[in-house]
A = this chain, B = another copy of it.
Amino acid sequence: MKIIVDAFGGDHAPLAVIEGCRQAVDELGAEILLTGDEEKIRQAAAEAKISLDGMEIVHAPSVIPVEEDPTTLLKKYADSSMAVGLRLLSEGKGEAFVSAGSTGALVVGSTLIVKRVKGVRRIAIGTLVPNAGAGYLLVDAGANHDCRPEMLLQFALMGSAYMEKVQGIPKPRVGLVNIGTEENKGTQLQLDVLPLLKEAPIHFTGNVEARGLPLGEVDVAVTDGFTGNIILKTTEGMGKFFSNELKSMVKSFPGVLGGLLLAGKFGALKKKSDSNEAGGAPLLGLRKPVIKAHGSSNAKAFKNAIRQAMTCHQNNMVGLIEEYMESYRAAEAAAKAEAAAGEEEAQ
């Protein structure tokens, strides 16, 4: 299985990317298609004495800067490592694409180049957030700030498909993030989407308060991208806050004790909250899997993002999203026909 990887995305590119790809080839049996400046890739690999066996390189001389308008990916930066990778994916030269480059460019570029599954209004970013359980998928985690109800419904369908196919949860519990569990809570958006979610062919468990997310009450948390960003960043900030407090706590104990603490449960907790363990964030709603790796990804994070991309393909996540969209379009058509019939009758 061939995974296309953007060699020039992220803070530690290209070295961390190359190292991660090396691990993915050796440990996961992946075939890798690296995009980026070929000379720089070969030089970085040679300097770090990393073999490029099992990896091909497709030369792409430029890199799209984070601050650039994402649409420049089509023309001005058409020869960038990200644009070239997305084109190779859409042409079927690989099964999935991994990049730690600009989120905005990746969202816009993959929508325009890889294209959406038929019926999908807007693609969404899913982020697996660590919690008391096995983590929950927050969707949308930041791609769409202003959302209509049918977009949230689609986020729910796509998020459920990801958790079932990639995380292996048979009947993912899907919750609508809200300010209370009662059905009359929320803004117009939550009130409007609730009846749609109840009818959806997924395991919808109702409104979920933000308090329940870290405690493991749902597997998929559905929300607009503004609120999703707020949840994600509050969670990150709290994680950092507690990790700082724990460190000062450990320091206050004599050497051996501090070491015990670090080696013991603290290590397990740290591992649980370590974003490098989780891999990247899937872009949901595309015709092929695209994984956004974190900008600060190290080699292990890239390896895990590649593993995730492989699982998306192996378990045909996109296929389940296509099925959901077909039944969604059928239901929509039926509702329209019914409404039309009702109008005729009324006349």
Contact = CB atoms under 8 A, between A and B. Distances in A.
Interface of A: 131-132, 142, 145-146, 177, 179, 186-187, 209-215, 225-227, 229-242, 244-245, 248-249, 252-253, 257, 260-261, 264-266, 269
A265 B241 contact: no
Nearest to A242: B242
Given A211-B237, A230-B210, A234-B235, A244 B132 contact: yes
Q: How many copies of this chain?
A: 2
A264 B239 contact: no
B266 A237 contact: no
A152 to B, nearest CB: 14
A342 to B, nearest CB: 32
Nearest to A187: B145
A240 B269 contact: no
A236 B73 CA distance: 41
A209 to B, nearest CB: 5
A332 to B, nearest CB: 27
A239 B237 contact: no
B214 A241 contact: yes
Dominant SS among interface residues on chain A: helix
Which 7 residue pairs spanning A and B have beta carbons closest together? Answer: A210-B233, A249-B265, A238-B238, A214-B237, A211-B237, A214-B241, A211-B233
Contact of A249 (B227, B232, B264): B264
Nearest to A213: B237
A98 to B, nearest CB: 24
A187 B235 CA distance: 21
Given A179-B233, A210-B230, A249-B269, 17 more contacts: A132-B244, A132-B245, A145-B179, A177-B230, A179-B230, A210-B237, A211-B236, A212-B237, A213-B234, A215-B241, A227-B227, A230-B234, A234-B238, A235-B238, A238-B238, A245-B269, A252-B265
A224 to B, nearest CB: 9
Contacts of A239: 238
A313 to B, nearest CB: 31
Contacts of A265: 245, 248-249, 252
B227 A230 contact: yes
A275 B214 CA distance: 19
A281 to B, nearest CB: 15
